[in-house]
Amino acid sequence: MRVDLDRVDRLINAVGELITNQAAIAQRVDEMSLATGAEIKAHVEDYRHLARDVQEAVMAIRAQPVKPLFQRMARIVREAADATGKSARFVTSGDNVEVDKTVIERLADPLTHMIRNSVDHGLEPPDDRLAAGKDATGTITLAASHRSGRVHITIRDDGAGLNRPKILAIAVKKGLVPPDAELSDAEIDALLFLPGFSTAATISNLSGRGVGLDVVRTAVAGLGGRITITTVPGQGSEFTISVPLTLAVMDGMVISVAGQTMVVPIASILETIRPEPDDIHHVGPTQSLLAIRGRFVPIIDVARELGLDPRGKPQTTPLLLLVEAENLSQCALAVDDVFDQRQVVIKGLDSNYGSIAGVSAATVLGNGQIALILDTDAVATGRDLAPIRPRPISHAMEGTQHGTA
């Protein structure tokens, strides 16, 4: 039986409204002082469980296995190997993993680019592999798995691994980093995602055209995802894409920043910290570090990064959210308050309000208040940030379709 996906999308939107209404009822009950409050709360909790069950059932209708997508990549490997004169075998695992249809569709182009990149840049020519004591035929592995409400797709090659000295030298030559820069391995790996960066010596149908992994990162970020890299010299590299299973709902932590209510994706938060004054070390007029378990992580003032006016006196010991950003780097986001954790319905802003730096989407809370969903990667790295300008966005939430975030 075939199901019209437009009808499924309308049903998903209706379920989203159901979840929002449930949150509104729960908040109203919490504000009431009634003798029967406990009984009412029990009914509200039953309602919440029912709404979650309905939501999961509807999402399952849209879910599809990644197998067809993986099968398409087999052809990409063959074509890339033929074009580069290399020999490559293609191995898959976890192709029965299911994910939202929209996510699968939007992963096709990034995966195609990364598979080609793994064959072209990752695998050595057959003669070089034989000289290194390897099989002349290289292996490209594509794997999928579920983890903590997200799908992880890994592209692995058994090639020479990243040549970090070469990557750094190219970045210096292009003026991307100063000649005396001392970068960590993760920071060098991150250079691969800069616009126009390429290690290709010559232009080919696969490489050197100035369109690189920055396009992949942008596409993955548009899905609320991120890419991480691990590499071992002489053994190969592994690129892991982590994206939500669905673009409709997410679990988030509701916070307050400079009088603005926002939501931080739970998947990004490692822990909440109220540090002791001695744990904070100031290294400049606007820069601080948090000492935690024998190491230092940078503290990022979210209000300052987003250009928001601070409310009241700055806290000597701020409330910090330890988050994991791109390439598994960590930082501590300084916020004013943390309220609670809840499931929220994602509402896209692009079509009605435009792109907001440091913000990935928005949601409507139980009290009817609109809260922006923080893009933790952008805030943590300072990428493309500019001050948020107050504009009415209540109408922008109306008629927003599933799948835009």
Cβ 90 vs Cβ 72: under 8 Å: no
Alpha-carbon span 308 to 162, nearest angstrom? 40
Q: Look-up: residue for tokens 């989203």?
A: 16
Q: Summarize pLDDT for 64-95 with one digit per residue, the tens.
A: 899 999 999 999 999 999 999 999 999 999 99
pTM of structure: 0.69
Q: Look-up: residue for tokens 């920055």?
A: 214
DSSP string, 192-252: GGSTT----SS--SSS-SS--HHHHHHHHHTTT-EEEEEEETTTEEEEEEEEES-SSEEEE
Q: What is the pLDDT of residue 391?
A: 43
Cβ 191 vs Cβ 171: under 8 Å: yes
Alpha-helix runs per DSSP H in 85-183? 101-117, 126-131, 164-173
- Using a CB cutoff of 8 Å and minimum separation of 24, what contacts does 163-167 make? 163/199, 164/188, 164/189, 166/199, 167/191, 167/192, 167/199
Nearest to 96 by CA among 153, 56, 144: 144
Q: Tokens representing 304? A: 């300052």
Q: What is the pLDDT of residue 405?
A: 33
Q: What is the pLDDT of residue 343?
A: 81
- Report how far apart, in Å, the C-alpha atoms of 214 and of each of 31, 112, 190, 273, 294 are: 48, 14, 10, 33, 34
Q: Tokens representing 279? A: 């744990």
Task: Write down the mean pLDDT value for the chain.
Answer: 80
Q: What is the pLDDT of residue 318?
A: 78
Q: Summarize pLDDT for 258-296 with one digit per residue, the tens.
A: 888 999 988 889 999 998 888 888 887 778 889 988 888
DSSP 120: I
Q: What is the pLDDT of residue 83?
A: 93
Q: What is the pLDDT of residue 385?
A: 45
Q: Look-up: residue for tokens 């378990």?
A: 293
Alpha-carbon span 115 to 73, nearest angstrom? 7
Angle between helices 101-117 and 213-221 (to 10 degrees): 160
pLDDT above 80 (res 246)? no
Residue 59, H or E segment = helix 37-62
List Cβ neighbours of 78 (8 Å cut-off, separation of 6 or more). Answer: 88, 90
pLDDT above 70 (res 1)? no
List Cβ neighbours of 364 (8 Å cut-off, separation of 6 or more). Answer: 20, 345, 347, 370, 371, 397
Q: How confident is the model at residue 184 (pLDDT cuts 50, 70, 90)?
A: confident
Residue type, 77: V
Q: Say which range, 124-128, 159-163, 327-331, 362-366, has the weakest mean pLDDT.
A: 327-331
Share of the chain above pLDDT 90, in %: 32
Q: Say which range, 67-76, 130-139, 235-244, 319-328, has the weakest mean pLDDT.
A: 319-328
In this predicted model, which residue has the larger pLDDT, 21 or 344? 344
The residue count for the chain: 405
List Cβ neighbours of 121 (8 Å cut-off, separation of 6 or more). Answer: 159, 199, 200, 207
In this predicted model, which residue has the larger pLDDT, 51 or 192? 192
